[in-house]
Structure 1
């Protein structure tokens, strides 16, 4: 068994970037995450949300809107948690040590969290069928960072085979809001299937810490027991319920993100970078001097995501406005 990865590099670490590049502009542009740069407008939050414990009625209202937004059935087990990251850390603790496959290259916390809890973890080719000895398979769909979307039929076949050995297919759909037709959420509740959804990326409110797990009622019970009471704060319940019910905002936002992603493509193509994939919340490109480009951009106050494991890769989040897009274009021209 490989040694557990105890520390990972993540996007969004502006504090470290400022320390490494003290001469950069004070006004940093963070392009290192896949978070929507145009957050959902916060509704009025009742004062009681701050000074009372979260109520069951408010929690159920949030879960009802989540089921509707994700297209899940009424009988689907659904858990609201303070962020998908916590669910990624918690799920491995619900299973005795076993063989786990992570379809990679992908979000590194999946491998790390299963390893840290004593599981034998193997990184496999994304489209490879699970090994007969594997009990848990983890797939990110669309994948981070290349945007790969594995076929629905293949995933459901895996869920069936894993369910037959009392196992689980975990599908991380953190970026599925921009490609809702690809979501397996309508299949949630199917034996051997668990779906994770992230609220903060699409709605641009990552600091709120809200995520969901969809699966069987039994899996819901086990996760909620592990989380304990009052897992989601009252203000988060209010904001999440309002955002998930605002279908007009979601539709307009998907269109705006797609337009901005296309404009980002034009800038990166002009700079001579090679397109590899992505979603409408981020783009993955390659260049022989990706590491140098990343450092030079940081010197100009532009933070992008590089990958030590893949030294040719750079991931770009969406610039928030025309000024930021032009600043990226000019910086790439100088690099």
Structure 2
């Protein structure tokens, strides 16, 4: 797919970068459900992109467009080189992670701890932008530890904006850098959506995307009244058919919506292709386990896949066998009218 024929990138709705979740297999599945939602990769360190197996780390299917690569790092030269590589691979955007609170990320001096050094983030963004003509964006928290006043976030955005960043995704929780696990950091610090709203008010010329705890399209609509876009995290993974309403509600595209059965059947050729390339089906099938969530036959579908997909002799046919356990009528129920 050349750049002239790619779908237009629009950040009004996106699926968050999530480690071990937003793999290329999940992104392909998500794209079958929504044509327009922007998809983010898992975070990959700049050093890994430069020195690692690039096809394994940042390879993707052309059908995934629009798709953005998230990078982790704090060395401007390395980030610039990794950004150039990602642009050459065909990504539509590169996003700098300034929000992950894990110990591993902190030990590398990147992620959320970088919020304490906005000048460093600005230097990184400037270096990344200098080598590509695709957008370079930033994803952050509203603060870290006891640096959680609005003035701290305002100063961070102001410095990075001055370096040329025009799109910020703000996870509306602060990050606790010691004492909480990454999972707890997604749940315990309170959500303060107003902080992101205030950034949009104070910086009307930049794009502000809000993230954190958003689980339905009623919330999406409300946030879009205050900011430019919404990023969905766990809900999009744990209930992927949730995205079926994205194109109609967020992007005003009223094409006929595919059923869950349609999605599973469309995923089959991709599964066969990956299998032929030497990838065990379990890696892709784990992402489709929740496709039929909350409809008749969902439990049988999940059970059949869970009990059989890890076998050494498993083939893509397992998906069709599981699909046969779900009444076709159950796959047409909508998430939201």
Superposed pair shares fold, TM > 0.5:
no
Higher strand share: 1
User: TM bucket by the smaller chain?
Assistant: under 0.3
TM-score, length-normalised on structure 2? 0.26
